[in-house]
A and B are shown apart, each in its own frame.
Chain A
């Protein structure tokens, strides 16, 4: 049986067009490649 209140909590307000710019800037774009490069660089520093 679906619980209306619980299901309602899963719905979030949609971003409006005015908020798009801020959302883009705040988006975390870090990917696995970035992490790998970071790890490689850190491992190199540790090795030196």
Chain B
């Protein structure tokens, strides 16, 4: 300590040993300044930065040359984000003690890094802009601006507090509390922060405020008290947040979020998975169904083929077996004809009846394939009885013809010609019978047969005449 008048180093006496000036009061002032510095240092040590600033400013009010106090004040300002204030203190400190001053290091730390200095300046400008927005009632813009500020300088207490105030004004209590908690982490005993936090806590848990009022009184006893200079410092023993309802509330919110996640994220995924499984099953069933359908089609096709084969076989069978008067009847008739001939060879009429039946069946069923034995027997019988039958039918037919009984003559003459194809007269008279009955068309065909089969005969000439007559009649 130096004399304020001559600058000589002072001794333990209350006067200057060099100039004799009374330094008792001066020494007391310096002591008080130092005591405030010590107090500020202690407060800064427990992060009571607001208290530290107050003490250090008091210290400097008593002694502006207390460089340690000024440097510490600058450091505390810097910690609270007040960079320009910190720089100011360090610059003054450096002017007061140009050499061996730690403020020099602090200033260099900031000034040598231009980017950091620019960032600091931007932070301050944005904060001021946010404040302007607040005053212009553009609170949303202010919130955005303050968030930018805090992203650049997270320790800027005033920005945290202003943002918390804006959240409180917007009744976003949780966010406000979050900001204020950050403030308390930087500066544990900031009056404005504590006041805002009290308000926020009351709004968040109004029922606990009443319940805890008695507890708070009890808790007030659980504080750390210590004397610092002329002031009594009261500091809470613990800073734990209130639990109970808060825990339940958080649990409820967590459950709600969990259910929401399950509903919006897990459930749709499950539904999607179930749908995929169903689609897969459907695809398999569809494939099986297609395979079965193909099998059914194939079987139906086989069934159709078999049905066709069956029908063909049935037709063949019918062809062989006969339906009403088929081959079997033909065979039976032939057998009867043979039997009749063997029994009475002269009874050609009976044989002729059976042979007629065979012919009739042939004409009704169409030309069918018969066994060789059948044909042989039939032809033999026909050869044996044919001339007699032809002669008999010729006689009967011509008798009926000459009697003008053409209806009777026609079948007889037909048989006569059938059993004796050389009997041209029978054929010619058959044509005449038809012609005279008025069936000119049938007669015309038979006349043509006569002309073709028996040319150059009188019957042929006459047939031509009749044909010409019929054609003229048609014209």
Contacts and interface: CB of A to CB of B under 8 A. Distances in A.
Interface string A16-45: 111110011001011111101100100000
Contacts of B60: 31
B199 A2 contact: yes
Contacts of A13: 127-128, 131
A1 B92 contact: no
Given A4-B169, A7-B165, A15-B85, A31 B192 contact: no
A10 B134 CA distance: 12
A46 interface: no
B389 to A, nearest CB: 143
Nearest to A16: B124
Given A14-B158, A16-B125, A17-B120, A32 B88 contact: no
A32 B87 contact: no
Nearest to A24: B88
B378 interface: no
A29 to B, nearest CB: 5
Given A31-B61, A37-B4, A23 B158 contact: no
A8 B134 contact: yes
B25 A14 contact: no
A14 B117 CA distance: 15
B26 to A, nearest CB: 6
Contacts, number: 94
Contacts of B33: 31-32
A20 B88 contact: yes
B436 to A, nearest CB: 141
Contact of B29 (A11, A18, A24, A33): A33
B121 interface: yes
User: Which size bracket describes the interface of B in this complex?
Assistant: 35 or more
A17 B195 CA distance: 31
A8 B135 contact: yes
B128 A33 contact: no
Contact of A11 (B62, B83, B158, B195): B158
B92 A24 contact: yes
Contacts of B65: 31, 33
Contacts of A34: 64
B84 A17 contact: yes
B128 A2 contact: no
A14 B29 contact: no
A8 B192 CA distance: 12
Interface string B288-306: 0000000000000000000
B91 interface: yes
A8 B165 contact: yes
A36 B158 contact: no
Given A2-B165, A2-B195, A16 B121 contact: yes
Nearest to A21: B91
A4 to B, nearest CB: 4
A17 B124 contact: yes
A11 B121 contact: no
Contacts of A7: 165, 192
B53 interface: no
Contacts of B120: 17
Given A24-B91, A33-B62, A16 B84 contact: yes
A17 B117 contact: yes
Contacts of B5: 37
Contacts of B87: 17, 20
B15 interface: no
Nearest to B202: A1
Contact of B84 (A1, A15, A32, A33): A15
B180 to A, nearest CB: 12
11 contacts: A8-B165, A14-B82, A14-B124, A14-B158, A15-B88, A23-B88, A29-B64, A31-B65, A32-B29, A32-B32, A33-B26
Shortest Cβ-Cβ A-B pairs, 3 listed: A31-B64, A15-B84, A4-B169
Interface of B: 4-5, 21-22, 25-26, 29-30, 32-33, 60-65, 82-85, 87-88, 91-92, 117, 120-121, 124-125, 127-128, 131, 134-135, 158, 161-162, 165, 168-169, 192, 195-196, 199
Given A11-B131, A17-B120, A20-B88, 20 more contacts: A2-B165, A4-B168, A8-B165, A13-B127, A15-B88, A16-B125, A17-B83, A17-B87, A17-B117, A17-B121, A20-B87, A27-B88, A31-B65, A32-B29, A32-B62, A33-B62, A33-B65, A36-B26, A36-B29, A40-B21
